[in-house]
Amino acid sequence: MPDWKNHVRAAVAHLNLDPGREESIVEELAEHLDDQYVELVRSGVSEAAAYRKVLEDLNKRKLGVELRPLFQSEPLAIAPGAGHQRGFLTGLGKDLRLGVRLLRLNPAFAIVAILSLALGIGANTAIFELIDTVVLRTLPVPAPERLAELRLIHDGRIGSSVARQHEVSSAMWEQLQRQQRSFSSVAAWSSERFNLGNGGEARYADGLWVSDGFFDTLQVRPTLGRLFSTSDDYKGCNTQGIAISYAFWQGELGGREDVLGRSLSLNGRSFPIIGVTSRIFSGLEVGRKFDVALPLCMEPVMHAEDAWTNGSTTWWLAVIGRLRPEFTFERASAQLASVSPGIFAATLPMEYDEVARRNYLRFRFRALPAATGVSDLRNDYEYPLWLLLAISAVVLLIACANMANLLLARASVRQHEMALRMAIGASRPRLVRQLLVESLLLATAGAVLGGVLAHALCKALIAAIGTGQDRVFLSLSVDWRLLAFTAGLAALTCLVFGVAPAFHAANTEPGAVVKTSARGLTGGRQRLLFRRGLIVSQMAFSLVLVITALFFVRTFRNLVSVDTGFRQDHILVADFDLSPLKLPVQSRLEYKRDLMAQVRTTPGVVSAAETAIVPLSGNGWNDFIDIPGTDLQRKLANFSEVSSDYFRTLGVPMLAGRDFNGSDTLKSPGVAIVNLAFANAYLGGGDSLGKAFGVRQDGGKPDKPYRVIGVVGNTKYGNLREPFGPIVFVAGSQDAATDLDSTVMIRSNEDLASLIPSLRMVAAKNNPRIVLNFSVLRTSIRRGLRRESLMAALSGAYGALAAVLSIVGLYGILSYTVTRRTSEIGIRMALGASRNRILGMIVQDALTMLGVGVALGTVLAIAAGRAVQTILFGLKPTDPLSLGLAITGMTVVALAASLIPALRAAAVQPIQTLREE
């Protein structure tokens, strides 16, 4: 029988018909010709003559001419995929439209896919946005890469620091300015908060002390007026003009043009405003802004007797410089190292003892890149942020694995579609492209939604990092790095989850597939193994994240519940700043005593005491002590100066001896109360009462003698992680040089906020110019744990997300397996397998995957735990509780997830499935 199809196809080929339509016409006409031929042959015509006759009747040319007007304007229904003929990019728009249509047809799939990708991408982008802002972004000044921080390199801390940067003393700064040769300009700066109000509760502005060349070094220009020059900053200056930041000008002063020359009150003094800095510059410190800048020379005016400028051991200035064009950081460091001995010899504090002098003379200066500014925030958060980025990357990987699994399942379902497309002429590359375009659509939608989520999450994170008075100022702006990161993530996820399914789906034999029934099409053992592999790795990785999250949650819990040795609840900390009162030294003690008496009699106050150091506030004071008659010399101990009732207020047990009282005066011999750790370490344990020790004094003066009158329980001093250390409490009533600040710890059983108005009245009654500041002890201590709480919350959320994603994945593959094996299960049941056996078979399948995943995940989690051991507290990376909880939790949830498909498998009706077959 002649093949008429080829003849017909040749006749219609040039019409470029829709492939489906073309195939239909070819078939129909070929059948007609067939019938005609058979009839001719039957009627006695020879085969050859019949063949000629039929071909003649077909009249190819005429057929083409007649059909052309009929099909000329008919649109193509599906992408033909004739990629090899028209270039790979042809019809991309059509692929996109088809992709959108397919996703709209299957909204459940689209929503699950886009949402899981959005969560994965959003989690990553949020963390990256923070890293970008805190770690990577350079200062908004010209050529920031030429800026250097001139840092003091030393091995032990001596001297007292009063600013966050604590780099150099005024004397060092003067020498450094004179002797450095590597920088075209250098500048010193420090930060301090100033009270804008006059009495009452304090309202603070963030201030910068800056040397005259500060803004020139950074090349920051004024928006209004002028910035500092040498005429503003000179030794012995009096009240000078100040500069304000653009944000402060806009926010606090309403952006008024006539602001120049107006006065601003800082700590009760008035200063004229001479200029406003440029809009984009908000200071050198990432995470902090500045409101006002003051010339360095005014510091002694502001602080009077306590001036930092005059203290040879007060390190309060940070130094920044702009490299000369011919200098590198190494060359600058070498030059600084060569002048360092001279600088330190010239500034050696006379009061240092022998050991301290030797240390001091070993100090060196070094030039470090400062393009990204300086930041405590960065020091604290850089490592946790990178860690969180790694965690969120794993979440994204799990989301991608889920997507790959979803798409693989979809690919199996769509094999018919693919086969059909191929049968009507689509090339494999075109099919792969179509599938990749669909994945790209998902990834893009996920990335856009993720970006929005990320921005919101990032804002929330910043709010979580800084709380209350300690606010963090980070300007979140979308820059090229962030956009590139998000776009890169979208492309990467698309590649990771899209490529394998696309190739699987396109790797279809058209003929074989069209003939087979849908359920028989599963893509074989290899593909299923691949999908199981994905599930196992998902299980493993999510277990790692869950365990890591438990590590951080338990670390946070351990820190919160750690025994501090003192009561944290119901304690209000009130700071009375008496400096505006300008009290003479000799009347201060009495004034403070009266104030304390009034505070104690305020309604609602159970007890109150003054202290120099609020425990766990980050403030501290240490000194060297000598124990006479022993070899315990120059031992370091922490100190605090407290009033009577301090231990009662904080609930610290008095183990022996007595509290400070009225008999401890300026005239009576020095007395001290020590904690148990001190008594054990330096006083030989046992009965320490009456024992003596001396505190080293500066300038070679003899030790200041103290006698122990009481021993109290151990308390935490600097931070929660450190073990109990030796602490000495001295009596505030014996401090002749007491300062103009009184910090009072108040215990009350009432709502602490309700105490504040009465305390404000007490202060106002004494003197309306007293500046007040309140905080709640427990809140302040919690604030010190915000890094840990952030890690716990975020890793917990990410761990939960990862677990949910992988459980959904497990459920998906089990459901898919059950559907695929329905007929097999039917046959098994027909052959006598019980429902329980079928149930067991599916659950066992789940357990096998879970088992391998858990084993792998545990090993990985222990390795991860070792990597983060430094920030864990109170547990080891092999912590059995965390591991056990995570594994049990995962197992229970995985079993629950496998039960639904297992029950469905057990409910299979053998007769029905066999009939379907």
Site residues for another protein per CB under 8 A = 24-25, 27-29, 31-33, 35-36, 57-60, 62-63, 66-67, 70
Nearer to another protein, 25 or 868 (CB): 25
What does the DSSP assignment read for 452-517? HHHHHHHHHHHHHHSBTTB--B------HHHHHHHHHHHHHHHHHHHHHHHHHHHS--HHHHHHS-
Q: Which residues contact 291 (CB under 8 A, 6 or more apart)?
A: 205, 206, 207, 244, 245, 247, 248, 252
Nearer to another protein, 4 or 724 (CB): 4
Name the token pair of 636.
């370091």
In the complex, what is the shortest distance from the CB of residue 53 to another protein, in angstroms, rounded to a whole number? 10
3-state secondary structure of 756: helix
* Residues 620 and 605 sit within 8 Å (Cβ to Cβ): no
In the complex, what is the shortest distance from the CB of residue 70 to another protein, in angstroms, rounded to a whole number? 5
In the complex, what is the shortest distance from the CB of residue 455 to another protein, in angstroms, rounded to a whole number? 55
Nearer to another protein, 67 or 158 (CB): 67
3-state secondary structure of 645: coil
Contacts 24+ apart (CB under 8 A), 584-593: 585/736, 585/737, 585/738, 588/738, 588/739, 588/740, 589/666, 589/732, 589/733, 589/735, 589/736, 589/738, 592/732, 592/738, 592/742, 593/733
Burial of 42 (0-12, 13-18, 19+ CB in 10 A): exposed
d(C-alpha 573, C-alpha 743), whole Å = 7
Contacts 24+ apart (CB under 8 A), 45-52: 51/2
Q: Which residues contact 71 (CB under 8 A, 6 or more apart)?
A: 15, 17, 21
Give the phi and the psi of residue 523 in degrees, each rounded to 5.
85, 5
Nearer to another protein, 44 or 107 (CB): 44
Nearer to another protein, 62 or 181 (CB): 62
Nearer to another protein, 55 or 862 (CB): 55
In the complex, what is the shortest distance from the CB of residue 27 to another protein, in angstroms, rounded to a whole number? 8
d(C-alpha 867, C-alpha 874), whole Å = 16
In the complex, what is the shortest distance from the CB of residue 39 to another protein, in angstroms, rounded to a whole number? 8
Nearer to another protein, 31 or 590 (CB): 31
d(C-alpha 522, C-alpha 415), whole Å = 9
In the complex, what is the shortest distance from the CB of residue 75 to another protein, in angstroms, rounded to a whole number? 14
* DSSP at 133: I
In the complex, what is the shortest distance from the CB of residue 58 to another protein, in angstroms, rounded to a whole number? 5
Name the token pair of 742.
């009184």
Nearer to another protein, 70 or 484 (CB): 70
Nearer to another protein, 33 or 297 (CB): 33
- Beta-strand pair 242-244/269-277: parallel
Among 568, 465, 564, residue whose Cα is nearest residue 793:
465
Nearer to another protein, 74 or 470 (CB): 74
Q: Spell out where 196-260 has E strands.
A: 200-201, 204-210, 222-225, 242-244
What does the DSSP assignment read for 373-409? -B-HHHHHHHHHHHHHHHHHHHHHHHHHHHHHHHHHH
In the complex, what is the shortest distance from the CB of residue 59 to another protein, in angstroms, rounded to a whole number? 4
In the complex, what is the shortest distance from the CB of residue 49 to another protein, in angstroms, rounded to a whole number? 16
Nearer to another protein, 67 or 632 (CB): 67
d(C-alpha 473, C-alpha 462), whole Å = 8
Among 285, 274, 179, 265, residue whose Cα is nearest residue 233:
274
Nearer to another protein, 25 or 803 (CB): 25
* Residues 343 and 365 sit within 8 Å (Cβ to Cβ): yes
* Residues 88 and 436 sit within 8 Å (Cβ to Cβ): no
In the complex, what is the shortest distance from the CB of residue 63 to another protein, in angstroms, rounded to a whole number? 4
In the complex, what is the shortest distance from the CB of residue 105 to another protein, in angstroms, rounded to a whole number? 24
Three-state SS string across 692-717, please?
EEEECCHHHCCCEEEEEEEEECCCCC
Nearer to another protein, 25 or 457 (CB): 25
Tell me the chain's radius of gyration from C-alpha atoms: 39
In the complex, what is the shortest distance from the CB of residue 19 to another protein, in angstroms, rounded to a whole number? 16
In the complex, what is the shortest distance from the CB of residue 67 to another protein, in angstroms, rounded to a whole number? 5
Among 272, 281, 271, 263, residue whose Cα is nearest residue 223:
281
In the complex, what is the shortest distance from the CB of residue 21 to another protein, in angstroms, rounded to a whole number? 10
Nearer to another protein, 35 or 509 (CB): 35
In the complex, what is the shortest distance from the CB of residue 915 to another protein, in angstroms, rounded to a whole number? 19
Nearer to another protein, 61 or 701 (CB): 61
Nearer to another protein, 57 or 376 (CB): 57
* Residues 206 and 189 sit within 8 Å (Cβ to Cβ): no
In the complex, what is the shortest distance from the CB of residue 8 to another protein, in angstroms, rounded to a whole number? 9
Burial of 242 (0-12, 13-18, 19+ CB in 10 A): buried
Alpha carbon separation from 646 to 300, 496, 570, 731, 882 (Å, rounded) = 33, 62, 14, 10, 39
In the complex, what is the shortest distance from the CB of residue 47 to another protein, in angstroms, rounded to a whole number? 19
Q: Tokens 């498909």 belong to which residue? A: 901
Contacts 24+ apart (CB under 8 A), 75-79: 75/18, 76/18, 77/18, 77/20, 78/20, 78/421, 79/421, 79/426, 79/430, 79/434
Nearer to another protein, 66 or 569 (CB): 66
